Structure 1
Amino acid sequence: MTTVVELEIPAARLGFDRTFDRVSTFEFQVGGMIGDSPPLIWASGPDRDAVARALEADPSVDVIASLGDGGESPTGASDGAGTDVGPGDRWLFRTEFGDAAKLFTEIVTDNDGAILTARGRNGRWLVKLLFHDRESVSACHDLLEQYEYRATVTRISGVDDLASAQTPLTETQYETICKAHELGYFDVPRGVTLKELAAELDVSHQALSERLRRSHAALVSAELSERTAPMAIDP
């Protein structure tokens, strides 16, 4: 069964520890950790200069560029604590993570996992992972213990309890993404074509394409806004 796992990991083990020490109100949200491209980070704190100085002084991360402010974030974005994030409240940085974060990503992907969301506050990372099955979860957890990430599992949810998984996807979208991931549709090179995936799911090529676009849009929106309540109606 496809499984969603939520973890808490101390920043001292994964990154941004010095930034949290220098800026107690620092919070961040990662715009994706898959692939070799340096990820984008939405960061917040008392002011942009304080956050930028703390990030630049943090040995666990290399700031490549400062790209924009909260005015460029999605409309109605949330800081994850139920408070709307307005213009100027969040700032966008392109960063290069250190070895600990890169190894974490490798451990997850090598065990057929995917990082759905990654954010942090109060000196801890909050990470949501997707796995094909419980065996992959166990193997990944064993490696995280071996490398002393001090990860605490806060929730494990299967596809049968979609609501508790707090995914922005509908059940149909969720099952489609899981099947696409399982068959290697998102791999490079792809393990299955869109036509083959459509046949596997017994839907038309066009219907599957539209479903995947809606699913991607929902995941991106949730990643950037933290609105992760399940949708009531399946489009």
Structure 2
Amino acid sequence: MTTVVELGIPTDRLGFARTFDRVSTFEFQVGGMIGGSPPLVWTSGPDRDSVRRALEEDPSVDVIASVADDAGRSTTDEETAVGPNDRWLFRLAFGDGVKLFEEIVTENDGAILTAQGRDERWMVKLLFHDRESVSACHELLEQYDFAADVCRISGVNDLATARTPLTDTQYETICKAHELGYFDVPRGVTLKELAAELGISHQALSERLRRSHAALVSAELSDRSAPMEIDP
């Protein structure tokens, strides 16, 4: 089943951390990250010069060119007052963090649909052919310490209407635990017995249940989609 995954990743893992340190209101949207060539990136902030200087001093990116603003004016045009919706377009070459991230995604038959960021955090939307590829990709992201949080995961056909904050694995685990009486008082099955039934370790089950509970509580207390984890 085709799957869309939305990830949140800190800027110190992918890029722009130094830029956010210098320009706290900095925001960006990458025009495309497939093909290996330096992408075009829309940026915003207090003014174009502040953003440009911050980017030029950021070791995670190289500024190839400063192209235009959102109204189509080139960078040689006379400066005008900055409006709340002003954006500036740069062609940027990203460093090793983004390159490794792209490699991990593509090697697991994934594609990067969108990438944008604010408040010192990247938000990327990925497309995979199946859940197995999602899990394999997430395991590698954990292995390379990307600190990625899954904000939403859903089938491509139900992306707009997905309501559960649980991954498939978490949902199946909660259902099996309920079926066997794990949540009953007294419990109908121990954690060790439930782990054996699911074929996973005691520790893995404990962590999976904890993450599932956290996702359910967060979803109940918030109108927004709760962060999710992809279980091993």
> Under TM normalisation by the shorter chain, which class is it?
0.5 to 0.7
- Picking from 112, 115, 118, the partner of 1:115 is 112
How far is 1:162 from its partner?
A: 3.6
The aligned counterpart of 1:6 is 6
Partner Cα distance (2:124, 2:130) in 1: 18
User: Aligned to 2:111, what secondary structure does the other structure show?
Assistant: strand
Structure 1 stretches of 4+ with a deviation exceeding 6 A read 85-88
Question: Within 5 Å, which residues of 2 pair with 1:13-162?
Answer: 13-72=13-72, 89-162=86-159
State TM-score, norm by structure 2: 0.64
User: Aligned to 2:112, what secondary structure does the other structure show?
Assistant: strand
How far is 1:3 from its partner?
A: 0.2
User: Aligned to 1:163, what secondary structure does the other structure show?
Assistant: coil
The aligned counterpart of 2:79 is none
Q: Which runs of no fewer than 5 residues in structure 1 stay unpaired? A: 74-84, 166-235
How far is 1:87 from its partner?
A: 9.1
Partner Cα distance (2:141, 2:41) in 1: 23
Partner Cα distance (1:137, 1:155) in 2: 12
How far is 1:70 from its partner?
A: 1.1
State TM-score, norm by structure 1: 0.63
- Larger relative helix fraction: 1
Preserved contact between residue 28 and residue 41 of structure 2 (Cα < 8 Å): yes
Q: Which runs of no fewer than 5 residues in structure 2 stay unpaired? A: 74-81, 163-232
How far is 1:164 from its partner?
A: 3.5
Preserved contact between residue 69 and residue 87 of structure 1 (Cα < 8 Å): no
User: Aligned to 1:34, what secondary structure does the other structure show?
Assistant: coil
Partner Cα distance (1:164, 1:17) in 2: 33
Partner Cα distance (1:111, 1:20) in 2: 30
Aligned identity (percent) is: 77
Quick one: which amino acid aligns to residue 69 of structure 1?
A: D
Using a 3 Å threshold, how does the CA distance of structure 1 residues 86 and 164 change in structure 2: closer, same or farther? farther
Partner Cα distance (1:110, 1:51) in 2: 33
Partner Cα distance (1:40, 1:160) in 2: 29
Partner Cα distance (2:36, 2:67) in 1: 19
How far is 1:72 from its partner?
A: 2.8
Partner Cα distance (2:6, 2:84) in 1: 29
The aligned counterpart of 2:169 is none
Name the count of aligned residue pairs. 154
Partner Cα distance (1:98, 1:151) in 2: 18
1:114-141 Cα offsets, whole Å, 9 max, x none, are 0000000000000000000000000000
Structure showing greater radius of gyration is 2
